Amino acid sequence: MEELDDLKSIWKQQSGFESKNEAEIIEMLSKRSNTLIYKLKRSVWFELIFTIACMFVLGTYSVTLKGGALMWTILSLLVLLLSFTLYYIKKIILLNQYDAGHENLKNNLNHLLMRLDAYMKFYKRSYSILYPLFFALGLLFGALESGFDRFIEKFEKPMYTISFIILSVVFMAGVYKITDWYLKKLYGNHIEKLRSLQQELLG
């Protein structure tokens, strides 16, 4: 950013800045936006391939199971992963539609950031709902497999109940923390750079 500001200040002292050098600045910004879009696409492709690989492994493993809580938990997870593959494909299509053409750079970047912000909100909202949901499903399937009476009987012991609550809270907090770091690493940093680029164009 500082290098670009220095470049602008130097060019402003020269004749013909508005006609020639402004176009050169737009060209630089266009190349930077394409680089950031490429990195975002790479992150989405990574998630898509990783999700498909997980589906393959889980699907193969579920075939070996004869039933029970684990099998139903895996099948539920496979349905979720399938829905996320559609989400990733849609996001790749969105990024492919981005056009860094000089005339449309500002409008396209504004539109892209609006869509990416909406996707990130959906992403975080879905995880905030799905993590507790699948945790509850795991407990439900476990109770069905062992029997509700036997399952509830465990919670009649104070030490078991306290340990279960503490471990559950620590586990969920850790999962959310890791997810936030993961999203920021894959998408958040690149989106913020695109937002800085947007501010330069507006300025």
Would you place residue 5 in the very low, low, confident or very high pLDDT band (cuts 50, 70, 90)? low
The alpha carbon of residue 70 and the mean position of all alpha carbons in its chain are separated, in whole angstroms, by 27
pLDDT tens, position by position, 20-68: 455 666 666 677 777 778 888 888 898 899 889 988 988 888 888 777 7
Segments making up each domain of the chain, as ranges: 2-202
165 vs 130: CA distance, rounded Å: 19
pLDDT tens, position by position, 72-114: 778 888 888 888 888 888 888 888 877 555 556 677 777 778 8
181 vs 74: CA distance, rounded Å: 25
Q: Are 81 and 55 in contact (CB under 8 A)?
A: yes
Kindly write down the DSSP assignment for every residue of 22-91, as one continuous string. Answer: HHHHHHHHHHHHHHHHHHHHHHHHHHHHHHHHHHHHHHHHHHT--SSHHHHHHHHHHHHHHHHHHHHHHH
- Name the pTM for this structure: 0.62
The alpha carbon of residue 189 and the mean position of all alpha carbons in its chain are separated, in whole angstroms, by 11
181 vs 154: CA distance, rounded Å: 35
3-state secondary structure of 106: helix
pLDDT (average), residues 4-27: 49
197 vs 200: CA distance, rounded Å: 5
CB-count exposure of residue 64 (10 Å: 0-12, 13-18, 19+): exposed
pLDDT tens, position by position, 148-203: 778 788 888 888 888 888 998 898 888 888 888 888 888 888 888 888 877 776 65
**Taking Cα atoms as reference points, which of 180, 185, 201 lies closest to residue 112?**
201
CA distances from 106 to 27, 28, 103, 166 (A): 12, 13, 8, 49
